[in-house]
Amino acid sequence: MTEPNRILRFRDVRDRTGLSRTTVWRQVKAGSFPKPVNLTKHAVGWHETDIQAWQAGLRRIGGSGGEA
């Protein structure tokens, strides 16, 4: 049985990524960060798997061994 895809609120996203609220929204708008899902009229969250995939993509870029 697979685990359900948890919804992370901003505080959890901040703790996992180290990004500020402004940076998260700027990157969402630019298309370089996962889009949130609406939970209520005034609350959003992110799928945990989307954040994990975004972080994995950063590790691939950062660990590519490319020349500076």
Per-residue pLDDT of 21-40, as tens digits, reads 999 999 999 999 999 999 99
Segments making up each domain of the chain, as ranges:
7-62
Q: Return the DSSP state at 31.
A: T
CATH 1.10.238, domain 7-62, yes or no = yes
pLDDT in tens, 47-61: 999 999 999 998 777
Q: Are 50 and 34 in contact (CB under 8 A)?
A: yes
Q: Are 20 and 14 in contact (CB under 8 A)?
A: yes
